[in-house]
Amino acid sequence: MRGDLVYLVQTDTTAGFLSRSAKNLASAKGRPAGKPFLKAISRLTFLRETGRVPGSFRRVVRRSRKRSFILPNGSSFRYICGRHRSFVEKFGWCYSTSANRHGEEFDESFAKDACDVVVESKEGFYSARASEIWRLGKKKRKKIR
């Protein structure tokens, strides 16, 4: 499997694009190239590359389900525990975004056309409730979504 390809995968909340290439992901989604992506990680050891989680929130991050976090340095990540974890483990980490045009709702035909590889499960693709996003400070955390 190649990291520079854009994969369409059903995540635990919505259909999403995954890739190790932020540039290819931005062009597939049709969004500005400078806007950062969320990093989906399969193991917490990959956080060393992303940034440092403040000590008071390490337990929260380890036990989180369906939550994304923004670190004090501005990097964002999501620790994957859902059904697509086995896919992310093949790469270690991937950039992740929802499989829709920038600012629009999920459209399966667009998603299949925009990606390089479709990884479809027996359930198919669907869009569910969005995950929570938390901004972590040194001492406080704030819910963004």
Tens digits of residue pLDDT in 102-129: 778 888 888 889 889 998 877 778 777 7
Please report the pLDDT score of residue 71 as a whole number: 93
Give the CA-trace dihedral at 56, 58, 62, 68, to 10 degrees: 90
Interstrand relation of 132-136 and 67-70 (parallel, antiparallel or unpaired)? parallel
Higher pLDDT, 31 or 59: 59
Residue 141: pLDDT over 90: yes
Helix (H, G, I), strand (E, B) or coil at 108: helix
Residue 7: pLDDT over 90: yes
Domains: count for the chain: 1
Residue 117 has φ and ψ, to the nearest 5°, of: -135, 130
Whether 57 is covered by a domain: the verdict is yes
Whether 25 is covered by a domain: the verdict is yes
Whether 1 is covered by a domain: the verdict is no
Domain CATH code at residue 46: 3.90.870.10
* Averaged pLDDT score across all residues of the chain: 87
Residue 50: give the domain boundaries.
Answer: 7-143
